[in-house]
Structure 1
Amino acid sequence: MQGAAPATVREALDAGDPLPGTRGFAGELDGRLVRDVLGREPLFVDRDGTAPIADGRWSHDPTELTDPDPVPAGHAVDGEASDRLWSLPDPDPFTDRERAVARVRDAVETSVDEVDADGLAVAFSGGVDSAILAARLDAPLYVAGFPDSHDVEAARSAADLLGRELRVVELTHDAIERAVPEIVAATGRTDAMAVQIALPLYLTAERVAADGFGRLALGQGADELFGGYAKVANAPEDPRVDADTVRGARREVVATLPDQLPRDVLALRAAGVEPVTPLLHDRVVAAALRLPGELLVEGDRRKVALREAATDVLPDAVAERDKKAAQYGSLAARELDRLARQAGYKRRMDDHVTKYVESLV
């Protein structure tokens, strides 16, 4: 069992508790494969599903299997049988604003403070998510981006405000062309969006590993849990979500984490580091799920509760700063598109960047 003690997972099974106080888990337990409700740890079986678990045709690393298929989050798998064990809770929201923010603050600070800083680096974009980590962890800060990118500029200014040094991983076309097939090999994903998202993470992790650090702390999960996406803020008018409320749209976005997280975990491990994601701890998830809509989005302000919870440790200019998604803030998406067009994959072609990615594999 990876990510949690077997006894903890057994207790979660007995109690039917989907958030038993872990950072996620996956692995073999009493003859079955078990994966946590958010899929924070990757877990795969061979696709034909006919072999018993005892035959060893499963792995945390899909490259070790002939035809890997993910174990669904919150499920147990035994041969061809797959049973849902846990579903994401849908609790009533807090009615008291101060209590809600205090619960988020306590959950976030406790989860970050539990992280061992030995051998740790922090992926730092200058936004509130990674800044919380930077403010509470004595670990070097890294940002990846092209020289004129938003993320490099934002990270530099935020590091200055926090009184911290920053190490910049300068992205180049050569680095992208080299990294793309390595990311595809590690994740099994060739779609343009997946590769664009993984690129700055992977190249940051390579540098972190080369500098002698074995673990990388990231602010992953904060946008999904705390209402950081425009499609959540614009619900129900945004066609990208089905929900008719901000809380409902946030729940839809959280439900995408089991598909997203393995991509990032596998890319980071392939680059030589172990990801550390304190904002995805069960206690943070539980606190976030109880937030009312106005503490997710309030006017033009997103991630309201998280920003208010961070005011004790961050300057207002950092706590209230908006940021772009990593693939855009680093300019990795723009430059991968540029490379695709230079290679003859024009925008008039359907999904031209994915076709270019496939050509590099």
Structure 2
Amino acid sequence: MSDRADAEAPGSARTNARRDIDEVHLRGASPATVRGALADGDPLPGTAGFAGAVDGRLVRDALGRQPVFTEADDHDTWSFDPAALSDPDPVPAGHARDSEGDERVWRLPDPDPATDERAAVRAVREAVRGAIDEVPTEGLAVAFSGGVDSAALAARLDAPLYVAGFPDSHDVDAARTAAAKLDRELRVVELTHGDIERAVPEVAAATGRTDAMAVSIALPLYLVAKRAAADGFDRLAVGQGADELFGGYAKVARAPEDERVAADTVRGARREVVGTLPDQLERDVLALRAAGVEPVAPLLSDRVVAAALDLPGELLVTARGERKWALRLAVREWVPDPVAFREKKAVQYGSLVSRELDRLARQAGFKRRMDDHVERYVDSLR
């Protein structure tokens, strides 16, 4: 089985093509840890996600935090980078793949909700704090939008903060306000239409996505990462996973009335959106790597995932509709309340990238009356 994972540089996967899978090539965990997790079926063995080759099989962790791919018709040829393959097929999260096909080897636990709310919040606090404090800061920057997720990282990591958005965007304003409350310097990446036009084909090529939602989410991440990489940083701390794990979506808060979820409880709806993480993380990881940085996601570490899955529904969304309640209570120990309890827009809207991408598409002749007009515009730039 070959590994065509990296660029054509000395020691890269292309240079070392046709490497046998039994010569372990693994990201995010040691072979011993993965072998132990396979042996006992533990989906959360104390990592922040992993993928790669172990003992004749490709594996990808239960949340899909590290993507890995094979050729669709040749499972013996694989890569961490889909661009290195002619027809890449992702290994599903929680699976092992060999030449015979895929096998489900891990499933996320589905514990009964904790009954002691104070203890549950304390467990979240200890997990989040521990995961963040273990992050080395050499070569690290922080993607910072001013919300509770990125503020939890920024307040504990001695690393520069970056935000991307159009000059009048909510994210830039929120990040400036929050950075001031944290007494931290903020580096603002003010976006222009030219930035978007140049980045769109790069993001589409890196992620393999052209739909409007995927591209508009990936663009601000990519452009923040590009600036951080240009400034000499090779790792970017991100708050990915908090909305899914801690009940940050409106459709979760409105369950079961919201038709976008099938579940009839907040906890059930939360589990549904956690199930979307592998696909989302694949997009984000590939975009960030294409920009020249390696993502670091402390809020997706196994210890945080385990603490979040234990939460009762009322600590995800309160009776008053306040979302991510346990996370907000947990991090107020080191994040000022005006930041910890601030509601924030999704990145594609808070940065105004979604609005301006739509505007560029219409200016290029792709009108809203056309089906998938933004996607057609993205394809035209490729």
Answer whether TM exceeds 0.5 for this pair. Answer: yes
The reply on whether 1:330 has 2:351 as its aligned counterpart is yes
Distance 1:76 1:15 in 2: 14
Match of 1:350 in 2: 371
Match of 1:31 in 2: 56
The reply on whether 1:219 has 2:244 as its aligned counterpart is no
Match of 2:184 in 1: 164
Match of 1:2 in 2: 27
- Give deviations 1:265-318, integer Å, cap 9, x for gaps: 000000000000000000000000000000000022100000000111011100
Counting only pairs closer than 5 Å after superposition, residues 79-118 of structure 1 correspond to structure 2 as 79-118=99-138
Please give the secondary structure, in 1, of the residue aligned with 2:227: helix
Match of 1:141 in 2: 161
Counting only pairs closer than 5 Å after superposition, residues 1-361 of structure 1 correspond to structure 2 as 1-49=26-74, 51=75, 53=76, 57-298=77-318, 299-361=320-382
Distance 1:216 1:2 in 2: 17
Distance 1:249 1:208, change over 3 A: same
Superposition CA RMSD, Å: 0.6
Please give the secondary structure, in 1, of the residue aligned with 2:209: coil
With normalisation by structure 1, the TM-score equals: 0.98
- Give deviations 1:201-258, integer Å, cap 9, x for gaps: 0000000000011100000000000000000000000000000000000000000001
Distance 1:77 1:12 in 2: 15
Amino acid at match of 1:28: A
Query: By how many angstroms is 1:11 displaced?
Result: 0.6
- Give deviations 1:123-145, integer Å, cap 9, x for gaps: 00000000010100000000000
Distance 1:240 1:305 in 2: 24
Query: By how many angstroms is 1:334 displaced?
Result: 0.3
Query: By how many angstroms is 1:102 displaced?
Result: 0.2
Please give the secondary structure, in 2, of the residue aligned with 1:136: coil
Amino acid at match of 1:198: A
Count of matched residue positions in the alignment of Structure 1 and Structure 2: 356
- Give deviations 1:136-170, integer Å, cap 9, x for gaps: 00000000000000000000000011101100001
* Segments of 4+ moved more than 2 angstroms: none
Long gaps (5+) in structure 2: 1-25
Amino acid at match of 2:60: R
Distance 1:75 1:29 in 2: 12
Query: By how many angstroms is 1:4 displaced?
Result: 0.5
Amino acid at match of 2:38: L
Amino acid at match of 1:175: D
- Give deviations 1:57-89, integer Å, cap 9, x for gaps: 100000000100000100011113210001111
Match of 2:14 in 1: none
Distance 1:33 1:42 in 2: 11
Please give the secondary structure, in 1, of the residue aligned with 2:103: strand
Distance 2:86 2:371 in 1: 30
Amino acid at match of 2:338: A
Distance 2:109 2:140 in 1: 32
With normalisation by structure 2, the TM-score equals: 0.93
Amino acid at match of 1:240: R
Distance 1:216 1:72 in 2: 25
Amino acid at match of 2:186: L
**Structure with more contact order per residue of length (Cα contacts < 8 Å, sep ≥ 6):** 1
- Give deviations 1:310-332, integer Å, cap 9, x for gaps: 11101110000001111100000
Greater helix proportion:
1
Query: By how many angstroms is 1:350 displaced?
Result: 0.9
Please give the secondary structure, in 1, of the residue aligned with 2:262: coil
Please give the secondary structure, in 2, of the residue aligned with 1:109: helix
